[in-house]
Amino acid sequence: MIKLSTEDQNQLSKKGISEEKVQQQIATFKEGIPFVTLDKAAVVGDGIVKLSEQEEKELTALFDSKKNQLHLLKFVPASGAASRMFKAIFNFVDAYNPKQGSLDAYIDKTGDKAVKKFRDGMPNFPFYMELMQKIEGAYNSEDEKVHLFAKEMLAEEGLNYGFYPKGLLPFHLYKDGSATPFKEHLKEAALYATSEGMANLHFTISPQHQEMFTKEEAKSAPEINKATETNFSITYSNQKPATDTIAVNMDDTPFRNADGSILFRPGGHGALIENLNDQEADIIFIKNIDNVVVESNLTAVAESKKMLAGLLLKIQEQAFVYASELENDKVAEDKLEEITTFLQDKLNVRFSSDFKQLSPEAKITQLKQKINRPIRVCGMVKNEGEPGGGPFFIKDTEGNVSLQIIESAQINSKDSAQMSILQNSTHFNPVDLVCGVKNFKGEKYNLLEYVDTKQGFITGKTKEGKELKALELPGLWNGAMAFWNTIFVEVPLVTFNPVKTVNDLLKPTHQVQ
């Protein structure tokens, strides 16, 4: 136990963090977070469902027939600043001086492929014309032009894109102007997250960007409303200060700022389980802000989303029937077997080896506990070498097996058997989730009860030249949903178009033909 001063306790109270939580986090630093144990990769036919064209059509039709009786919501994590997107370009602006040598010589010397790609693709950026007008006549050579273009793009007195939230950068250039990811998400929502002509969207954003988002909404929402005859109800929230995590020194004592206060850091996207838990809806679509498509691919994306939602409705309906039957503590043995098979085959639930030997009462207790959980249907794309999480069966310390989305950082890279399982994985998580968060009585689950707190991350950071350890909460679609019932479905590659660096905007899928 770390002793906290009165000032420390006042600081915790202001942030809404309990002393117990801080002590737990410090204990986590001391114990360390164990790597997960992969049992096997989920593949098509074993953990991943691949639907036929006919099945997809039926599920899409099922969703379309029911959506007007449902409260739908699209939940978009959008607090990411664009600074990481421009990391290589920030470095280039600082490191290169066109008066001291040619850009080709700089690229040869540094081997900076990102800058070469940026230069070669410059005219294809959606903001090219706007920027060129700003710098017209201010350069004497092609190399000066590239450097000034990059500088003006990032500088505060220029376009200031380095400060922007990712969701408000121009991503796509159409005949009538450019479109931000925020605007593209509205177009998408109009196609699949609409009930009775109303689309509800919730964006989690950083407080400093609130005004910018409100401005973009005032401009984009009426435009998309006119084009699609869809009304939009848009809400926002910020990561809660109470989800910040304590930073510690290398000896696991609290890291202190210059004024003596304890350093707390944002807990990562796993903190958003709190924001998700505050939402009321029958079906919640979750998709990252930077994963958007140009208009020509919108229909394919919408059909895929409706298919996932149709599958959720179909399986949830059967789960609700069984959950209701289990409320009656007298359930026939063959019915118990039927429910067990459903949980195994449709919801990927795994039972312990002694489950068959249990008494009917003990079976009912376990089946109730397994079926009464939030359900998520997650799209999975074939692995094309993108970094990020994937679908795996994992084994916990008690030997229980469950289906999870696991990040590579959670796997022990020194364990050859574990790395072999990782290398055998065929699919990748594009953050494409459709969630059912209510039970069979229509009551909302408390999502905070289904988090595996042991699935966070400890990372090394520095502050003012001093080393520290930071704690990231279990990721929103990783440990924060560890105890949900999970279905993985193969979806087309067109549904996955993230923009992690500015050069990703040059990919054909982000170019308007």
% pLDDT > 70, the chain:
99
Q: Are residues 71 and 91 in the same domain?
A: no
Query: Has residue 213 been placed in a domain?
Result: no
Q: Reduce the DSSP state of residue 314 to 3 states and report it.
A: helix
Asked if pLDDT for residue 312 goes beyond 90, the answer is yes
pLDDT for the residue numbered 454: 85
Mark residue 101 as left, alpha or beta (left: phi above 0; alpha: psi -120 to 50; beta: remaining): left
pLDDT, residue 385, reads 66
The mean pLDDT of 119-148, rounded to a whole number, is: 95
Looking at beta carbons, which pairs linking 258-264 to residues 24 or more positions away fall under 8 Å?
A: 258/464, 260/7, 261/7, 261/8, 261/11, 262/8, 262/11, 263/463, 263/468, 264/15, 264/17
Structure tokens at 299: 């229909």
Range of the domain at 121: 87-164
Whether 270 and 384 share a structural domain: yes
For the residues 135-163, what does the mean pLDDT come to? 94
Above 90 in pLDDT, residue 384? no
Q: Is 502 inside any structural domain?
A: no
- 133 and 36 in a common domain: no
**CATH number of the domain where residue 405 is located:** 3.90.550
Q: Are residues 438 and 316 in the same domain?
A: yes
Give the orientation angle of helix 142-154 with respect to helix 113-121, to 10 degrees.
100
DSSP one-letter string for 4-45: --HHHHHHHHHHT--HHHHHHHHHHHHH--PPPEEEEE-EET
Q: What is the mean pLDDT of residues 164-192?
A: 96
Q: Are residues 101 and 69 in the same domain?
A: no
| 457, part of any domain | yes
Do 289 and 372 sit in the same domain of this protein? yes
Answer yes or no: is pLDDT of 386 > 80: no
pLDDT > 60? residue 286 = yes
Strand pairing category for 245-246 and 457-463: unpaired
Examine the domain organization and report whether 100 and 22 are in the same domain.
Answer: no
The stretch 193-199 carries a mean pLDDT of 97
What is the total count of domains within the chain?
Answer: 2
The reply to whether 434 falls in a domain is: yes
Q: Are residues 297 and 350 in the same domain?
A: yes
Q: Considering the chain, what is the average pLDDT of its residues? A: 94
93 and 39 share one domain: no
Question: Looking at the structure, do residues 346 and 459 belong to the same domain, yes or no?
Answer: yes
> What pLDDT sits at residue 176?
92
pLDDT in tens, 75-132: 999 987 888 899 999 999 999 999 999 999 999 999 999 999 999 999 999 999 999 9
**Residue 21 within a domain:** yes
Amino acid letter, residue 444: K
Query: How far apart, in whole angstroms, are the C-alpha atoms of residue 27 and residue 47?
Result: 34
Other Cβ atoms closer than 10 A to 175 = 5
Q: Do 487 and 463 share a structural domain?
A: yes
pLDDT for residue 389: 76
Kind and range of the H or E run holding 486 = strand 485-490
- Which band of pLDDT confidence, cut at 50, 70 and 90, is reported for residue 387? low
Q: Is residue 222 part of a domain?
A: no
CA distance 460 to 123: 39
Domain-embedded: residue 236: no
| 66 and 104 both lie in a single domain | no
Residue 61 in any domain: the answer is yes
149 pLDDT higher than 90: yes
